[in-house]
Amino acid sequence: MNYKSLAIIFSTVLTSGICFAQTTVVEDFKKSETTQQGKEYPQVNSEGRVRVQISAPEAKKVQLDIGAVKYDLVKDDKGIWIGESAPQDEGFHYYQLNIDGASVPDPSSLYFYGASRWGSGIEVPATDQDFYALKNVPHGEVREVHYFSKTNNSMRRCFVYTPPGYNENTNKRYPVLYLQHGGGEDETGWASQGHANLIMDNLIAEGKANPFIIVMDNGTWARPAQAPAQGGQGGRPAGPWPPEGWADGFKNTLLNDIVPMIDSNYRTLADQQHRAMAGLSMGGMQTRVITLANPDVFSHVGMFSGGSISTDDISKSPNFKDKVKLLFVSYGSREIENPRAGSADPKANTEALKQAGINTHFYVSPQTAHEWQSWRRSLKEFAPLLFK
């Protein structure tokens, strides 16, 4: 090979590298539905990139922190920082700004409770967003309910969705779904980030789901603080994870306080056949533990990105197979493609239960990960299967 050939190859590689680095951003940014009224940012473009802007004249470095990646913003001569992320998955995402090392909410976005804090959120328009759109159809109500918990000796709060027609036909009684949030979230999540009420309103209007009540409570549990921890300060406590009995606190609150309170104050069909439980991530894990231990209480079970149930689990809960009418398990496709090391195969587990005679459904949300679009789609698929 002569020097001329080497020069041509080197030039080609160098040029390719420069072209690769110069990613073109489509300049069709628009305000998101999660942008505060009267604000121009944050914005989203057709690629799913999120662009933010903030005035911080004295700051030395400002970053957009979204999807576990930080993107540097650029400051102009007026002290305005602006920049955007790489393309994000469709749906809802938490994010924050990092200003000289301090993580803060974006003052221009609406706030949501997630990642164990009130902070910023952004909605990336989805191709299938019609199923949770606000439409001119009959709407139910989301009620904020305060009640006293004997189990916790404290006041608590939950949100209750009652379907369209609940107030008009006072003789009708309804099934109930107890629907749980994920870790670092609270009882506001499913109605706010998840749009559970709009999903149900639209499904009912289209005749695809039976009307039922949804109860959304706070399942947050206090993580044990004993030492030593794995991975140093702030890591998980040593031993099996989650630790033994981790779901007992919410289980006792649910069975002894929440379910009786709902049955006493709402027109429910107060029996096992008309009672379901489901949840996302941590809430799915809670659903697994609670329903396996209490098949006499719940007849329909949904686990969204929250593990699965195996044949060994069923052997330890013999009434589950006879009592439970439906087991629904779902994940985002990116979760299935990149499973956690050592985790069981949820699809294989679910198929094994189907072979054992249990009515199971396994759903995969296309092109999403451990995020709200996966769980919105999961509820859309799960709800029509309930209380048939």
Overall average pLDDT of the 227-233 stretch:
45
Q: Domain ranges in the chain?
A: 25-125, 130-222+245-385
Which run of H or of E encompasses 69?
strand 69-72
Backbone φ, ψ for residue 113 (5° rounding): -90, 115
The DSSP annotation for 80-119 comes to EEEEE-S---SEEEEEEEEETTEEE--TTB-EEEETTEEE
* Superfamily grouping for domain 130-222+245-385: Alpha/Beta hydrolase fold, catalytic domain (3.40.50.1820)
As assigned by CATH, the class of the 25-125 domain is mainly beta
Task: Out of 77-81, 160-164, 229-233, 241-245, pick the least confident.
Answer: 229-233
**pLDDT value of residue 236:** 56
217 near 179, Cβ under 8 Å? Answer: no
Residue 360: the pLDDT is: 98
Instruction: Kindly report the backbone phi and psi dihedral angles of residue 132, in degrees, each rounded to the nearest multiple of 5, phi listed first.
Output: -120, 20
How high is the pLDDT of residue 237? 58
Tell me: pLDDT of 238 over 80: no
Give the pLDDT confidence of 90-134 residue by residue, as tens digits.
999 999 999 999 999 999 999 999 999 999 999 999 999 999 999
What pLDDT, on the 0 to 100 scale, is given for residue 340?
A: 83
Q: What is the mean pLDDT of residues 240-245?
A: 74
Q: What is the pLDDT of residue 15?
A: 38
Beta bridge partners of 322: none
User: How many whole angstroms separate alpha carbon 185 and alpha carbon 118?
Assistant: 9
pTM, two decimal places: 0.90
